[in-house]
Amino acid sequence: MPERLANRLKERRTELGLTQAELAERVGVTRKTVNTVENGVFTPSATLAIKLAKALDLTVEQLFWIEP
């Protein structure tokens, strides 16, 4: 079975009171990209993962993990 990159992007974003659009603006992407990462449709690059983690004040490992 293929491994999947899970994340707590939505949970953390909601905690900080941010909308998808606001988070997107902080990392310099469109809302569509944040949406697809949140839903697990799109696996972000290391660069984007680091930017997202920084914007949400977490480490990459806290934000993303691999689910078997």
Partner 1 sequence: MRPFVIGLLMGLFAVLAMAVVMKWRQRNLPMSATEKAEYLGKRRARMLPLLAVIFLSQQATFFSTLNSQSPHSAYGPKIAAWLALSIVLLFALSTKGFWFERKEVRDLLDDENTRANRSEGMRWGFLFAMAAAIGVYALTLFDTTVTARDAVHIVMTIGIAAALIRWGMLERRAHRDA
Question: Site residues (CB under 8 A) for partner 1?
Answer: 20-21, 24-25, 28-33, 35-37, 39, 41-42, 44-45, 48
Separation of alpha carbons 19 and 27, rounded Å? 13
Rounded least distance, CB 47 to partner 1, Å: 8
31-38 and 46-55 helices, crossing angle to 10°: 90
Rounded least distance, CB 14 to partner 1, Å: 15
Q: In terms of CB distance, is 8 or 36 closer to partner 1?
A: 36
Q: In terms of CB distance, is 46 or 68 closer to partner 1?
A: 46
Q: In terms of CB distance, is 5 or 42 closer to partner 1?
A: 42
Q: How far is CA 1 from the centre of its chain?
A: 23
Sign, Cα dihedral of 46, 52, 56, 57: positive
